[in-house]
Structure 1
Amino acid sequence: MKSNIFDPHKSFLSLKILWIVVIIHFAVAAILSILIIYNSNLTPSYDYHGLNNALNIFKIPLGILALTIPIVALLAANHRSEQTKEQMRLASENNNFSNFYKHTEEFESYLSEHEESNIKITLPRKFHRLAFPNSKNGDFKVGELIDRQINWFLEHIIHASSGLNNPQKWTEALDKLDMLITDFAESFYIKNYYTSTSGNSLPVFERTVFVPDGDVKNIIISVKNISEKIRDALLFDERYEPSELLIKVIEFDYRRIPSSKTNNISNYAPFDFKALLFEEKS
């Protein structure tokens, strides 16, 4: 809990601690002075001897009052220190704020300059916030969370793709795979990741799955397209190192996957993308 005893936003004379210290010292000095006067047979004398005696008689109350000066000086020094720290904090915040917006603008420019296909990050600022979660604090390194998210999606997509090797249940696997790929793309604000806008809509349960150019192979290729777009965006941070799984998915030779046309389901050619991916030579 932050203490407001030396609130840097207040003037020194507005601090409660100052007046508490002053009042306590004056009150103690006043009480002692009253006790001295009440219990002593004093005769007023305003000459040299009288004033000198007064200083001697009231030296304890006066000493207590004198203590107020160094204590107030210490309070003032501490208050100035708090104000200096607050000024430094505000300056750091303003600097981080400026750097954050500059970094965001440069990131958007970077994405625009590297748009070599129709695949787009539709909400670059949200992607920036996801990729650089500590950027408002001046840390412009790619966060660890986004790497874990990428790997999570890729692992589940690769696992689900194994079902495409089952001639009886491949449509169910395709449905699950399509939902995972859609979630993968939407989580990173990516659109237009299919190789083609033409294709077949395959009814599966209560859904329809769009198959680019009617070839299931292109569903798998869309995973590469999404992964590549994410990787390229994150390379804005020159320190970024893609995970081994992300590199493997991007660099895999997708020509090794056989074409599996859906225009005639009975002629579907099963394939095991997972097996092909992990037997690929690095």
Structure 2
Amino acid sequence: MRSNKVLIKTVAFWVAFLLPLISASVLALLMAYYGDVRFAKPTPDNILFAYEFLKIPLILASLVFPAVAIVTSNHRSAQTLEQIVITHRQNTFSNYYSHRKAFFELLDSLEKDLSIKFYDKNKLYSGLFPNNSTLNVEVRLNSDEAEIDVNRLAGRLAEKVISFSKLMNKMETRIMSDSVISSGDSISVLNLYSTVNSVSNSLYFETESEQKLDLIQGGLNFKVAYEESRPLIHLDSAVTVLEVLCQFCHRNMPVVPDFNTNNKAFMISLDKLLVQQHGLKESADLVAEEEYQVERATNPRYFNE
């Protein structure tokens, strides 16, 4: 690089040094030639005459000092700027790999805690921070440029859970009335599972839970984590992943409300879904619940006494 050269080896230095001297010498020779000046004894009068006669060439020659000073200053500034650029590049390079390392360690921790597997961590990182490289590092997610917007995913999931909760609560209220018998809403449960699966795919993770539900929607198969005591465990995992990623990306996450899986309408709907998808028999509790509702509707007076 030019700024790394020794000063006296630069073209600018020699131009600043020689140009005033050469210009002054040429001018002095021309003035002496056309002024018919001859060499004389160096008496005081002759020296004074020479000084007055060659004042302009001498002034021109003296410009070598400020010219060299300016070149020296510029050279030093260029070296300083070059050092700043090199330091910045080194810091950016180091910060990029430190940021990636912290991100992957975070994913490893989530995998261990939630029994999930991120099957394309590099793609997830690139989707969240598309502009990051060894030359540029951004630690805050840019929604306008990011291929994966965790805020929008969280907002979408929150809206789905809220609408699902309202539906289940409304159905439960009707079930608890004296004359309503509900067969559940398995489609809504399937749609919720499908939304959770879609969020998982967008974040490139899948469950490694021993218990899974194999579901079909629109001719497409997908799997979600499932436990009898926690039928929405996959939803809980997706919410946790979104919360952690939003925090890492320095973004506020929309609140995804908790859902009470003991909701009677949900239990009936989930049971119907399992029957439809897997041909399983309805659970004894739900069969008893339906028989109770039928009896309640048939003999309302008996239950009101």
Structure 2 residue matching 1:228: 3-state secondary structure: helix
Offset, 1:73:
0.9
The answer to whether the aligner puts 1:118 opposite 2:115 as a matched pair is yes
Offset, 1:68:
1.6
Structure 2 residue matching 1:8: 3-state secondary structure: helix
Distance 1:213 1:120, change over 3 A: closer
Q: In the alignment, which residue of structure 2 is the partner of 1:54?
A: 50
TM-score if structure 1 supplies the norm length? 0.63
How do 1:1-282 and structure 2 match up within 5 A?
Answer: 7-22=2-17, 24-45=19-40, 47-49=42-44, 50=46, 53-114=49-110, 115-128=112-125, 130-131=127-128, 141-145=139-143, 149-156=149-156, 178=194, 184-192=199-207, 196-202=211-217, 204=218, 207-210=219-222, 212=224, 222-235=234-247, 240=250, 242-244=252-254, 247-248=255-256, 251-253=258-260, 255-256=262-263, 257=266, 258-259=269-270, 260-261=272-273, 263-264=275-276
Unpaired runs of at least 5, structure 1: 268-282
Offset, 1:61:
1.2
Name the aligned partner's letter for residue 67 of structure 1: L
Task: Give the number of equivalent residue pairs.
Answer: 248
Q: In the alignment, which residue of structure 2 is the partner of 1:277?
A: none
Offset, 1:198:
4.3
Name the aligned partner's letter for residue 40 of structure 2: S
Structure 1: distance between partners of 2:259 and 2:191: 23
Offset, 1:53:
3.9
Distance 1:58 1:193, change over 3 A: farther
Is the 1:193–1:226 Cα contact (8 Å) retained in structure 2?
no
Identity of aligned residues (%): 19
Offset, 1:140:
7.0
Structure 2: distance between partners of 1:213 and 1:92: 46
1:225-254 deviation line (CA, Å, top 9, x unaligned) = 3232132245457xx45322xx325x4445
Name the aligned partner's letter for residue 86 of structure 1: E
Structure 2: distance between partners of 1:155 and 1:233: 14
Greater relative CO (CA pairs within 8 A, separation 6+): 2
Name the aligned partner's letter for residue 36 of structure 1: M
Is the 2:151–2:251 Cα contact (8 Å) retained in structure 1?
no
Structure 2: distance between partners of 1:46 and 1:125: 87
Offset, 1:36:
0.7
Distance 1:230 1:156, change over 3 A: closer
Structure 2: distance between partners of 1:248 and 1:60: 85
TM-score if structure 2 supplies the norm length? 0.59
Distance 1:123 1:230, change over 3 A: farther
Offset, 1:213:
8.3
Name the aligned partner's letter for residue 248 of structure 1: V
Unpaired runs of at least 5, structure 2: 168-185, 280-305
Bigger radius of gyration among the two: 2
Moved more, 184-193 or 131-140: 131-140
Structure 2: distance between partners of 1:224 and 1:243: 15
Structure 1: distance between partners of 2:160 and 2:109: 35
Is the 2:116–2:205 Cα contact (8 Å) retained in structure 1?
yes
